[in-house]
Amino acid sequence: MLYSYELDTGQEGFYEITDMVRDALNKSGTTSGCCLVYCVHTTAGVTINENADPDVVHDLMFALDKTFPDRPEFRHQEGNSAAHLKSSVIGCSVTVPIQDGHLILGTWQGIYFCEFDGPRHRHFAVEIMG
């Protein structure tokens, strides 16, 4: 079953969507299988990382900015090639196993929508496969 979600992002950053993914799982009633979280944008991404200390995702974005700065050599006329690059590096989906009706996430793991070119109106899909 496919569930669609929308998100209004601010500036570049990591936006936790774990509760929205759990919402999709609960609506589906699926108890066993896997869950695909998929972002339909080329300047955003989806990843799993620590949600206990917000400094972790801050540092991830800081390091991505330092590693992939905007460069005068970029040719893409929209001017957001660094955001496209970060999107490809992070990836546009994650898959999480489902067991006994719960997402199998570690104690410190959260699912994040990664905005690399905000603010924007964004969409992502959650496909529950049971």
Using CB under 5 A as the criterion, which residues of the chain lie in contact with Zn ion when the complex forms? 78, 80
> Measured between alpha carbons, how far is residue 109 from residues 27, 31, 66, 76, 97 in Å?
22, 20, 24, 35, 13
Written as six digits, the tokens of 106 are 């570690």
Cis ω before 119 (30° cut-off from 0): yes
Q: Which is nearer to Zn ion, 24 or 83 (CB)?
A: 83
Q: Which is nearer to Zn ion, 22 or 120 (CB)?
A: 120
In the complex, what is the shortest distance from the CB of residue 112 to Zn ion, in angstroms, rounded to a whole number? Answer: 21
Q: What is the pairing mode between strands 13-16 and 33-39?
A: unpaired
In the complex, what is the shortest distance from the CB of residue 111 to Zn ion, in angstroms, rounded to a whole number? Answer: 25
In the complex, what is the shortest distance from the CB of residue 9 to Zn ion, in angstroms, rounded to a whole number? Answer: 16
CA angle 69, 71, 75 (to 5 degrees): 130
Q: Which is nearer to Zn ion, 66 or 75 (CB)?
A: 75
d(CA 126, CA 35): 7
Q: Which is nearer to Zn ion, 97 or 119 (CB)?
A: 119
Task: Point out the residue whose Cβ comes nearest to Zn ion.
Answer: 78
In the complex, what is the shortest distance from the CB of residue 125 to Zn ion, in angstroms, rounded to a whole number? Answer: 21
